[in-house]
Amino acid sequence: MRRSIRVAWVALFLCVAGAWAQTEAAPQTARQALTEMFFSKTPGTFVKHLPAVTTAALEKSGALANMQQFSMLATQMQTQGKNFQTFETGPVLFSAEDMKTGQKTVVSVMHDTLHGDLDDIVVGFQVYKDGQPQLTGFKPKVTLSMKLEEQVWKLNEISFTVHLPLADPEFLKALTEKMAPQVTTKTSYTPRTEQAGPALGSDAMVLGAMRSILTAEVTYAASYPNVGFTCSLSDLDGFGGGQPNEHQAMLISSSLASGKRYGFVFTLSGCSGNPATAFHLTVAPSGNAFGRKTFCADQSAVIKSSDGGNAAACLASGTPVQ
């Protein structure tokens, strides 16, 4: 009988101790702080994990409010049709998959070295297409050095390195594929030569200009959340003095904001909602660029192309550009 009572007391003690332990919240790890800093939807989390001296300098300069856009960009990514996940433990830090294109980006934790109040987290990147790893030709690594400051992990330093495995078969395959001569097919049209048109640019130059506009749109929407995306290239213009505002955000060059570059016409349209949560960017050939492909994209930032100058066809059934 006494033994049964003792067993009951021990069981009761273990239950109480277990319940008490669960109520004691474990301290936040450096990795959890890093995830919260960039991917939390709670306002103020980005600044919370900056060093105090950095926050003070930004506040003094008046730039502190603009820093929140970095965490807001992650929120924007989550609203653009991407399957976005973060992981507080395990080999993967976060992943983002575009369900429309089948492309998935995975950021993996390669090393997590804790020494005292410092924690160096080394991450690597891998892109997949329809479940297959894509050969990028180089292997970038980013070291995120976290430091414990007043019991809060702060991002103290960022280091970026690129590893080029010159003898690696996969690297050589990716390198030679990109350097191989491109086979071009002749078109049946005859370019007009009676007057000089705008200087033509390569597809790479056109795509680079499109990416500048797409990046500017995301930054614009984060900076002016009451407006959202804009369908006016002049709103993204970088010309002029004074402070950036919603009608002159100073995010792209004036030549690009003109809408005509490299023999193409750049057009923004389809800004729906208040604030606008969507937009279309179309780039159609004009003048002596007749016969070139038409390019297009939307708020998902996936660039597509189609033959001919029909922008609507590109948006509806264009082929994603690799």
Q: How does pLDDT run across 185-234, given as a tens digit for each residue?
A: 444 443 443 334 445 678 888 999 999 999 999 999 999 999 999 999 99
Q: Please tell me the least confidently modeled range out of 57-61, 176-180, 213-217, 280-284.
A: 176-180
Q: Can you give the pLDDT at residue 132?
A: 79
Distance separating alpha carbons of residues 257 and 238, to the nearest angstrom: 8
304 strand-pairing partners: 296, 320
36/70 Cα distance (integer angstroms): 12
One-letter identity of residue 244: P
HSE value, Cβ hemisphere, 13 Å, CA-based, for 147: 9
Residue 140 neighbours by CB under 8 Å, 6+ apart: 124, 125, 160, 161, 162, 163
- Is the pTM for the entire model greater than 0.75? no
pLDDT band, residue 3 (cuts 50/70/90): low
Amino acid at site 112 = D
The whole-angstrom separation of Cα 286 and Cα 308 is 11
- DSSP conformational letter for 96: E
| Rounded-to-integer distance, Cα 234 and Cα 283, Å | 16
pLDDT, residue 232, reads: 92
What are the distances in angstroms from CA 173 to CA 106, 134, 167, 176, 180?
22, 11, 10, 5, 11
- Extended beta strands in the chain, E state: 82-86, 92-98, 103-115, 118-129, 132-133, 139-149, 152-163, 260-261, 264-272, 278-285, 294-298, 304-306, 319-320
Q: Which of 72-76, 134-138, 226-230 has the lowest mean pLDDT?
A: 72-76
Structure-block tokens of residue 50? 């900056």
pLDDT at 189: 41
The SS3 assignment for 161 reads strand
Q: Which two tokens stand for residue 64?
A: 């502190």
Mean pLDDT of the chain: 78
CATH architecture for residues 30-163: Roll (3.10)
CB of 244 closer than 8 Å to CB of 250: yes
Strands 103-115 and 118-129: antiparallel
**Contact assessment for residue 254 and residue 239, using Cβ atoms and an 8 Å cutoff:** yes
Q: Which two tokens stand for residue 111?
A: 């090393």
Distances from the Cα of 180 to the Cα of 129, 147, 173, 176, 204, angstroms:
22, 46, 11, 6, 16
